[in-house]
Amino acid sequence: MTKKPDRFLALDSWRGLCACAVALFHFGTVSHLQSFGLIRASYLFVDFFFVLSGFVIAANYRDRLAEGFGIGRFMMLRFGRVYPLHFFMILPFIFIDVAKDGIGPQLWQAISTNVLLIHGLGVNDALWLNFPSWSISTEFGAYVVFALIIPYVGPALWPWLIAVVAGPLILGLMSPEGMNSTYDYGFVRCLEGFALGVICYRLHEEWPAMTERLGLVADSVIEITIVLLIWGYLTIFWLTPSYFLVVPFLFALAVLVFSREAGLLSRLLLKRPFLLLGTLSYSIYMVHALVRAVVRAFAMVLEHVFHVTLFAEMQLAPSAVSVQLLSLSGNLWLGDLLQLLLLAMAIGLAAFTYRFIEEPGRNWSRNLVRRARTA
């Protein structure tokens, strides 16, 4: 059986930073941070998760599945990785929705599709409950596709190339939201990124230039260049989201570059604070909407009791409708502090859910698979 590769720690840190960027985008405050083009386009960092997931899953399971690891074992391990925390996060949002709108057919549909993990596969007409979890639904669907394809085609690239070609065409020509597709064309968006990740691992594995180190200076220049490219592209083109169809390809370049862990930025990403964010990345992503909901509810209560204005209308994306942003008298600096405080709260809650929900769930699935193998 093929040896499992080492973890790509710099890419783990990347995932943590991307989770924080997505959280900052969703918190929505009147602040300097919220006005940055990079933050307004940070919903696209979900696509980095998809590319990285395809890369890591291919690295760890492609050969094992081809050699008879077993589809059931693979899916059980992935289920234990994503589902326990997903299910746990459904519960508080049920109470929130009942408090807001009562119990009705929409709530039952939201609960059933979320519990079945199909709410990102085009069966709903809106994001309900823990809204960022649509991507978990689509990613689990990508796991199913991976598990069904690999035992028959092995390392062949043609199925993944089909997804990479079809994805931008479908998103560009059919999806009303393009790269901001979620509950409707989110699976297409996910499968394109996931397929890019699978292809990237093949290149990393078979193209010597992907692993050869050029020297600290040269490798650092390459890393800085790809970061500036992504930063600049998202900052310049956030007002023209039709250009975002190329963003998954930029993330694929980042995955290839930082999988080498050869430059100064990689050395920085291997420091403990960034590794911690990487460890907590899934929990940060899954809990930040709850922090947002609770703080916004508290702000509404303060508005009602003290007759102050704590919200202002603003568009977070060019194609989006106006939304209510938290506003502290319109003071941008106070808005920055509030946004960072919300992020700190999300990281703190993520540490709790990682320790008591995410990690125990992962260990449960591993032990279950281990016992099944022994039996």
Q: What is the mean pLDDT of the chain?
A: 93
User: Per-residue pLDDT averaged across 337-344, rounded?
Assistant: 97
For residues 74-101, average pLDDT = 94
Taking 60 as the threshold, does the pLDDT of residue 299 lie above it?
yes
pLDDT tens digits along 231-284: 999 999 887 888 999 999 999 999 999 999 999 999 999 999 999 999 999 999
Cα–Cα distance measured from residue 341 to residue 316, given in angstroms and rounded to the nearest whole number: 20
3-state secondary structure 200-238: HHHHHHHCHHHCCCCCHHHHHHHHHHHHHHHHHHHHHHC
Q: Which helix (H) or strand (E) holds 314?
A: strand 311-314
Q: Does residue 320 have a pLDDT over 80?
A: no
- pLDDT tens for residues 47-67? 999 999 999 999 999 999 999
- Mean pLDDT value of segment 283-311: 95
CA atoms within 13 A on the CB side of 208: 1
pLDDT above 80 (res 5): no
| Partners of residue 323 on adjacent β-strands | 314
- Give the span between the Cα atoms of 266 and 223, in whole angstroms: 8
Using the predicted structure, report yes or no on whether residue 317 has a pLDDT greater than 60: no
For the cut 90, the answer to whether the pLDDT of residue 353 exceeds it is yes
Percent of the chain with pLDDT over 70: 96
- Contact call for residues 164 and 101 (beta carbons, < 8 A): no
- Single-letter amino acid, residue 93: F
